[in-house]
Amino acid sequence: MKTTAQKSGFVSINKKTMELFDELMVLQLIDLEFHQLYYRTMKEIEPLCRVWKGNLNKYELDLSKLKTMPNNLRNEKH
């Protein structure tokens, strides 16, 4: 699970850690409430990631890509 209070930008994901789990949930904190941006398999998220500044062991995930994905559960509060 990744949590962020960022409204835009990127969240980082360690590639070595990425290989240890099957699913990813990204929560965004807005006005003291968590909103689910993403909850899917790693197979679906990996193509959306880019390598972070040449470091092959670290990915960046663009929050705007998560917000525009079809069938997204991003409006659920937790």
Residue 71 pLDDT = 56
Residue reference for tokens 């909850």: 39
Maximum distance among all Cα pairs of the chain, rounded to whole angstroms: 35
| Amino acid letter, 42 | M
Name the strand (E) or helix (H) holding 28.
strand 23-30
* pLDDT tens digit sequence for 38-64: 888 888 888 888 887 777 778 888 888
**Span 10-46, pLDDT tens digits:** 888 888 887 788 888 888 888 999 988 888 888 888 8
The model's pTM: 0.71
User: Residue 78 pLDDT > 70, yes or no?
Assistant: no
For 39, residues 6+ apart whose C-beta sits below 8 A from its C-beta are 23, 24, 25, 26, 73
Q: For position 1, what pLDDT does the model report?
A: 74
Q: Is 5 exposed, middle or buried (0-12, 13-18, 19+ CB in 10 A)?
A: exposed
